[in-house]
Structure 1
């Protein structure tokens, strides 16, 4: 049985670090939207970058479905900030007969700011510069999973 691992967390929470580890541990195809976006549009940021995220995620999900149907594991390394998004992908994966594991990364806000400052200074490949103002903006959209939601998954990290 294939497994879909999905990440839930804000920028700088450690999603990609965990995704890389789980990719190796579970022989999973890792789909990281930011890496594809950086490859396609390295100079975009803010709203322009957000406008490109939807098409990239749709293509990645199409690939993910094919891989899950083949019985292989997938690591979907996105933020999935809303309950609605998480429910959508959990339901779609279950229709394919896959297990679904939710990986929640939710460090304290001061830790997120520190990590983002470090990452911004280093500018590693596949990442985008995220200001404190941008983090404050996206915080408005983040819905932490409730215990009832967590119970809907096969496992959670």
Structure 2
């Protein structure tokens, strides 16, 4: 049975680091940031919503294909809303995959420190300005215990 892990957390929480460790162990990793970078969106401004939607649509097909082929998949997105997590849970269940959300609950000051050190040198090092960070934080819906399988990894300061 395939496994599907949905990475969840704020920018700078450590999602991509965690996802890359799974990728190193043979998991198939999908990342909006990596795809956007490959399309030339390497600056500090957000990827336009229509581009992000196009990337997600293409990756949903590829995720379905990978799960259908029996691969273990990690989706390296922020999954900032329950609705988005539920959508991808259903995608996994459609393929009879074991679905788990891994929520990186990282201290806000540590996230801020990590983001201020970013230089935009690669897809997992995208610069996020303070305004964008605040917008993410205010809209973010942390997973709750009623969502099913959620692993919480707390990273204190």
For the criterion TM > 0.5, the same-fold answer is yes
User: Which residue does 1:98 correspond to in 2?
Assistant: 97
Instruction: Mark the CA change 1:115 to 1:43 in structure 2 (over 3 Å): closer, same or farther.
Output: closer
Q: Which runs of 5+ in 2 are unaligned?
A: 153-157
Q: Which moved more, 1:35-44 or 1:103-112?
A: 35-44
Count the aligned residue pairs: 151
Q: What is the CA–CA distance in structure 1 between the aligned matches of 2:66 and 2:140, rounded to whole Å?
A: 28
User: Which residue does 2:137 correspond to in 1?
Assistant: 139
- TM-score norm. by structure 1 comes to 0.89
**Runs (4+) off by over 4 Å:** none
RMSD: 1.6
Q: What is the CA–CA distance in structure 2 between the aligned matches of 1:128 and 1:52, rounded to whole Å?
A: 16
SS, match of residue 80 in structure 2: coil
User: Which residue does 1:66 correspond to in 2?
Assistant: 65
- TM-score norm. by structure 2 comes to 0.89
Mapping of residues 1-157 of structure 1, within 5 Å? 1-25=1-25, 27-43=26-42, 45-120=44-119, 123-126=120-123, 127-149=125-147, 152-153=148-149, 156-157=151-152
Q: What is the CA–CA distance in structure 2 between the aligned matches of 1:48 and 1:40, rounded to whole Å?
A: 10
